[in-house]
Chains A and B, each alone.
Chain A
Amino acid sequence: MAGSARQRAWQIDLFRGLALVMIFINHVPDNPLVVLTSANYGFSDAAEGFVLMAGIAAGLVFWRKAEAEGAAGTFARAWKRAFELYSAHLLIVLLAAAFVAWVATEEGDPRLLGWVGLGPLFEDTAAALVGTVLLGHQPNYLDILPLYIVLLLLVPVMLPLAGRAPLVLLALSGAVWAGANLLAWNAPTFPSEGGWIFNPFAWQFLFAIGMVIGVRLARGLPVVPRSNWLLAAALLYLVISCVVILDLEAVWPTLPLPWFLYELDKTFLSLPRLLHVLALALVLGRLPVAQAIAWVDRPGLLTLLGRHALPVFCLGSVLAVAVGLWRFVIGADPWLQVAMVLAGLALQAGLAMLLDWTERSRAAVARAAAVPAGKGGA
């Protein structure tokens, strides 16, 4: 069973790496490579996949840690991780803002200061600084980490329930998701109004589902339903979703139902998007898709990216802001845009390789140090 869990962990890294690649491509909107990303072929996009896998990874890692080291240390570890993410978030907002300020100044065009919603930092600096530190001002494309921070802060509440009473966790978490959708609960933004793009009250449900899956994996319990009927239903849902998304002329209907049951609202993670990512996860869990991708990606770059998800994501976020604005300034043609995006991905892969090499070197040094001192002597 441990081997099976390791196999699953490898798959999680692979899909997490794939989600990171897609998120980076999507954050340079309408570049020619966007046709390769899942957002064009279904209701959900890579962000849903990323949060689901973050939940699975959190359940898997923190449950094992809690069993080995106790709950208190594990919860402290989750909060320490949240603080690391917070620091990383502030750094990438600062880097992105500095880049945008530099380009706008060089070009003498104040409209560029509005890139990815950074405007308030320049127009209303005092308020936006406070907002940034309190996570109330989140530039576009730099808004996933704040959600992830909140989710990690919730680990001490979610993890015990995911282990001992998963159905209670799913019911409570689902009730909060539905309540957020029905009553428009959202975390506040400041100085702009409108709430978080990734509404934590809604998105915590997907993380909780992932955590329940992760804890089951850690305990060696089955996680993928074996029903072929369910698999067929999931495949059918993915196909229908693809057809609807590809029809650019379709006008969304207005139904006599609560909004979130049929609309495609990313902020509130409406039902069609939630079902889509779960259907996708079921299909990917049942069919040998990971093996097929690994066969294509023989050097294992995606797994490597997924294993170092946080630093890769941070570098990717800053690079996406830079590539996105730079291509506007130089008027990049489609080929140059592809080259810029591929160069950005290469830099992220380079970072992942460097981090992997550093980790392996450190492990080798630790192993050497563990050898008894007298063994190599005379």
Chain B
Amino acid sequence: MIRPILLASWLLSACAAPALAQSCPPAGAAAELRTPLPRFAAAVASGGPIEVLAVGLGNMRSGGMEGPFANAFHEALQRGLPGREVRVTVVPTPGMLAKDAADRVRRGVAEGEPALVVWRTGLADALAVTDPARFRRIVQRAAAWISAQNADLVLVDLAYTGAGAHEPTYRRYVDALAQVGREGEAAVFRRYAITEAWARAGVAPGQMAESEACLAQILADAILRQAAP
């Protein structure tokens, strides 16, 4: 009965109202993006409004606008850029494979002309066990296209929710995204590494909404550090 009870408590926490990121556990070096974001930095330096496209960044899976991640991310970016107009357009990709989500990314970029795209992907492909090499190529291709549109890309990888039997499968998609990052056309926000470190240290926020809000805050801070002059 332990597993159903754990699952039920997780679901209840998922339905809870988004918590404020008051006492987030430290993320350490795993939070660093390692790749510069020159277009976003230029948009910050320009003094005009800053357009950000957030793809697949609703709550953990549904991709809704009211998700704790999207809201907390927008608020954190706005807090970091006081007096500036930060516009975050959310493009939901609920349960969509990267190959399908890539179409929505392209459309969102073509129509919104953002300086920064944040794209959370990989979970649907991991569950569908698509070929990781093909997944990497699809994301790489989209990254090259986004770069050609004069926008920076931050990829957000999967979540770690406990050492299950399928972690090696999830890790293949985390590694595929890391590989895209190493190729230089996208930064990668290592959500899996951060949440795994939290879980191992026993400091993970108890509620899913709180964890998402913390991750959004950490991501926004990391992006702002890359844009700092």
What is the number of contacts between chain A and chain B, taking CB atoms within 8 Å? 144
A138, closest chain B residue (CB):
B94
Q: For the complex, give the distance between the alpha carbons of A265 and B148 in Å.
A: 20
Contact of B95 among A115, A123, A248, A328 (CB under 8 A): A115
Q: Is the CB of A114 within 8 A of B137?
A: no
- Please encode chain A, from 313 to 343, with 1 for each CB lying within 8 Å of some chain B CB and 0 for all others: 0000000000011011101000000000000
A73 CB within 8 Å of chain B:
no
A83 CB within 8 Å of chain B:
no
B60 CB within 8 Å of chain A:
yes
Q: Is the CB of B169 within 8 A of A114?
A: no
The answer to whether A327 and B129 touch (CB under 8 A), given A122-B11, A192-B94, A194-B92, is yes
Contact of A140 among B96, B123, B126 (CB under 8 A): B96
The answer to whether A118 and B64 touch (CB under 8 A), given A251-B145, A328-B128, is no
The answer to whether A259 and B148 touch (CB under 8 A), given A111-B159, A140-B96, is no
Interface residues of A in 220-263 (CB under 8 A from B): 248-249, 251-252, 254, 259, 263
Instruction: Report the minimum CB–CB distance from B55 to chain A (whole Å).
Output: 10
Q: For the complex, give the distance between the alpha carbons of A111 and B131 in Å.
A: 19
The answer to whether A123 and B63 touch (CB under 8 A), given A29-B97, A117-B96, is no
Residues of B within 8 A of A248 (CB): 134, 137, 141
Please choose the segment from B71-79, B106-114, B199-207, B215-223 that sits at the chain A interface, where 4 or more of its residues have CB less than 8 A away.
B106-114
Q: Is the CB of B123 within 8 A of A109?
A: no
Residues of B within 8 A of A192 (CB): 58, 62-64, 92, 94
Q: Is the CB of A105 within 8 A of B148?
A: no
Q: For the complex, give the distance between the alpha carbons of A125 and B126 in Å.
A: 24
Q: For the complex, give the distance between the alpha carbons of A59 and B47 in Å.
A: 58
Q: Is the CB of A119 within 8 A of B61?
A: yes
B159, closest chain A residue (CB):
A111
Q: For the complex, give the distance between the alpha carbons of A27 and B7 in Å.
A: 27
Q: Is the CB of A118 within 8 A of B161?
A: no
A120 CB within 8 Å of chain B:
yes
Q: For the complex, give the distance between the alpha carbons of A331 and B4 in Å.
A: 22
Q: For the complex, give the distance between the alpha carbons of A230 and B170 in Å.
A: 49
- Please encode chain B, from 149 to 177, with 1 for each CB lying within 8 Å of some chain A CB and 0 for all others: 10000000011011011100110000000
Residues of B within 8 A of A329 (CB): 166
Residues of A within 8 A of B3 (CB): 105-108
B124 CB within 8 Å of chain A:
yes
Residues of B within 8 A of A327 (CB): 129
- Report which residue of A29, A107, A125, A267 has the largest number of chain B beta carbons within 10 angstroms of its beta carbon: A29
Q: For the complex, give the distance between the alpha carbons of A261 and B148 in Å.
A: 20
Q: For the complex, give the distance between the alpha carbons of A48 and B128 in Å.
A: 23
Q: Is the CB of A252 within 8 A of B106?
A: yes
Contact of A123 among B59, B100, B145 (CB under 8 A): B59
Q: Is the CB of A125 within 8 A of B15?
A: yes
Interface residues of A in 167-223 (CB under 8 A from B): 191-194
Q: Is the CB of B11 within 8 A of A123?
A: yes
Contact of B7 among A110, A139, A193 (CB under 8 A): A110
Residues of A within 8 A of B37 (CB): none
The answer to whether A328 and B10 touch (CB under 8 A), given A108-B162, A192-B62, A259-B107, is no
A331, closest chain B residue (CB):
B169
- Please encode chain B, from 67 to 109, with 1 for each CB lying within 8 Å of some chain A CB and 0 for all others: 0000000000000000000000011111111001001101100
Residues of B within 8 A of A302 (CB): none
Q: For the complex, give the distance between the alpha carbons of A365 and B6 in Å.
A: 56
Q: For the complex, give the distance between the alpha carbons of A201 and B5 in Å.
A: 44
A5 CB within 8 Å of chain B:
no
B14 CB within 8 Å of chain A:
yes
Instruction: Report the minimum CB–CB distance from A52 to chain B (whole Å).
Output: 21
Q: For the complex, give the distance between the alpha carbons of A192 and B148 in Å.
A: 30
A interface residue numbers (CB < 8 A to B)? 29-30, 104-120, 122-125, 128, 139-140, 191-194, 248-249, 251-252, 254, 259, 263-267, 324-325, 327-329, 331
Contacts A/B (CB < 8 Å), 28 sampled:
A29-B128, A29-B130, A30-B130, A107-B3, A107-B164, A107-B165, A108-B6, A109-B164, A110-B10, A117-B95, A119-B95, A123-B61, A128-B62, A140-B95, A192-B62, A192-B63, A192-B94, A194-B63, A248-B141, A251-B141, A251-B148, A252-B145, A259-B111, A263-B107, A265-B103, A266-B103, A328-B127, A329-B166
* A-B CB proximity, top 7 nearest: A117-B95, A119-B61, A114-B61, A108-B3, A117-B94, A194-B92, A120-B62
Q: A263-B106, A265-B107 are in contact. List 6 more A-B contacts (CB 8 A).
A: A30-B134, A112-B127, A123-B14, A140-B95, A248-B137, A251-B148
